[in-house]
Amino acid sequence: MTKRIAFAFFCVILLAFVACEPEEKIVEVEVIVDNTLYVTVSADMVDNIVQGTTVTLYAVDSVANITPGDLTYSWFSSDGDMLVAEGDTVQWRAPDEAGSYTVTVHATDGTNIGIGTINLGVEVFAATVDPYFVGDGTCAGCHSSTHTAWAETGHAHAWSSLMSNDYAASYCYPCHSVGFDDVSGNSGYDEAPILKFVNVQCESCHGPGSTHATSLSPADIAYDYDAASCGSCHEGSHHPYLSEWEDSPHNYSAESAHGAPVNGGCEGCHEGVAAARRLEGDLSVFFGGAAYGSPARDDTLAYPIAGITCQVCHDSHDATNPGQIRTVADVQLVDANGETPIITDGGVGKLCMQCHHARRAAESQIENGYAHFGPHANPQADFMAAKSAYHGVADASFAWTGPSHLNVQNSCKTCHINMVEYNPTDGAITGHTFEPTVEACANCHGTITSFDEIMALEDFDGDGTVEGVQSEVGGLLHLLEAAFVANGLDTTGTSYMGALGDTLRSTYVVREAGYNYAFVEDDKSMGVHNPDYAIQLLQQSYFHLTGAMPANAYILEGDVMTTEYSVK
């Protein structure tokens, strides 16, 4: 078995005068050697090294089975002088010119070799432009609670995760450190390669904070909900989050969303800043927006209007929830059919459900009509839970089915964010177009090439053929459309939806059945989210409208989880 010896950090001790007081930080890296031995390397680093200073560097093997003499060390530097170049403790004299320098060590047991490097900054910490980078310690003075939460996130450990990776390279530094940019004199890791500027810190997203630290004015720091802020790192063939999100329905402007992001009653789901605040607030006020009393955008900070960007669903400061999503709270649905349903299952998919729910119940629309007839578009949460459609089309004793894909672990996320790890041929898939994939169905339904290959159990639309669930649901929708017209629905010059909501074009009983038609249509899955509920709603609505079940169809009664199918 081949041994592998790796050193991620080295101890740096200053033996002469330095420009500032040492900032002591301990970094421990555990490395497996030959699957049996563990090497722990500690590092004490200071913020700056003066020109001509002699620095002692050492590597410490602090584990059983590794004793002094087991390994030999050879040291090299990109500049400056190695006064002692062999052994686990060496001396390096900094050059007379300010800059960033690399010291490398080769450690070998005579057969195998491990190579480690460290960057040292010589007289580079003094910034020459303003604003400049100051490091997370400065931010913590005012934002201690946020800083404490951030320390538990992956961002706070981005440097060590890089250094422990076999593929770590300097081109990775811009995304794993602070201020590695093209601006000269603003400090940052490219000019001051010190511990103060490692990891993804506050200033990685908010920009250099020296001016803000003095003025305390929000105007002197960057803050927005622009997806490009995250996408500057979370992009590329290994993790194309930004480009996939750009192709998703969540990427929209206020104009393309018919002004919803700037409407007080809609912004809690349609405008990024207000949506993020709502997800952190009282979710029992589930409509969102100032018009409903829930937390909305704080325009005193003059955030630009944002769509549903990365920052809406993810909290870069807090790792409490999986994936750093903002909430996994239970989901309150609209009052309907004499119930006040609350979804408690669904895992991280409950984040999606906080906006993807029916919002509007049927009764008022059936009585008075409505210009946007049916539930609010995308009632997927209600549909999966088998709630909120109009159950008045069936007898009070009718046993409606229960949840379907809501019972899948993490529900929405499992099917709509199906991630594929990077491979050199196809790259990676992050799932952030939010389009469901047939690959996500394989664990339960086997290999399929389209969702309609998920077969129905019977012929539910009566066309003489057992088809895929989506085709069966489509057949029932068409039967219901014909029944609408036969019952006097006037669709002249408009759509079924437009006619259903118009009391001059539709009757009360047509609107009763029509609400369920709209409910299934607006779910957009053609029954996949909850096949039994879709079939029950459409069959019962057809019977309610015509007095007869679809001819030759297998009629779905009761909760199929506990009872057999029967035919009326």
Which tens digit of pLDDT belongs to each residue from 146-163?
999 999 999 999 998 888
* 32 has a pLDDT exceeding 70: no
Distance in angstroms (rounded) separating the CA atoms of residues 506 and 518: 14
Segments in 164-240 forming alpha helices (H)? 173-176, 202-206, 210-215, 227-231
Distance in angstroms (rounded) separating the CA atoms of residues 505 and 499: 6
Stretch 227-247: mean pLDDT: 95
Stretch 406-427: mean pLDDT: 93
CATH number, domain 11-219:
2.60.40.10
Which tens digit of pLDDT belongs to each residue from 531-562?
999 999 999 999 999 999 999 999 998 644 33
Short-list 217, 261, 245, 258, CA closest to 311: 245
Contact (Cβ atoms closer than 8 angstroms) between residue 88 and residue 10: no
Distance in angstroms (rounded) separating the CA atoms of residues 99 and 160: 23
Query: What are the domain boundaries of the chain?
Result: 11-219, 227-319, 331-413+450-546
The per-residue pLDDT of the chain, averaged, comes to 83
* 371 has a pLDDT exceeding 70: yes
Q: Coil, helix or strand for 372?
A: coil
State the Rg of the chain over Cα: 31
Pairing of strands 81-84, 54-58: unpaired
Task: Identify the pLDDT of residue 30.
Answer: 33
Segments in 363-436 forming alpha helices (H)? 363-368, 380-385, 411-416
pTM for this model (two decimals)? 0.78
- Phi/psi of residue 334, each to 5°? -70, 145
Q: Residue 181 contacts by C-beta under 8 Å, 6 or more apart in sequence?
A: 174, 188, 190
Stretch 330-344: mean pLDDT: 94
User: Dihedral angle at the C-alpha atoms of 185, 186, 189, 192, nearest 10 degrees?
Assistant: 50
Short-list 129, 105, 128, CA closest to 118: 105
- Across 339-444, the runs of DSSP E, i.e. the strands, are 342-343, 420-423, 427-429
* 269 has a pLDDT exceeding 90: no
Q: Which residue has the higher pLDDT, 61 or 305?
A: 305
Distance in angstroms (rounded) separating the CA atoms of residues 324 and 208: 24
Stretch 524-535: mean pLDDT: 97
Which tens digit of pLDDT belongs to each residue from 186-226?
989 988 888 889 999 999 999 999 999 989 998 899 988 89
Task: Identify the pLDDT of residue 8.
Answer: 35
Q: Could you write out the three-class secondary structure of 506-537?
A: CCHHHHHHHHHHHHHHHHCCCCCCCHHHHHHH
| Strand partners for 32 | 38
Task: Identify the pLDDT of residue 116.
Answer: 66
Task: Identify the pLDDT of residue 20.
Answer: 33
* 479 has a pLDDT exceeding 70: yes
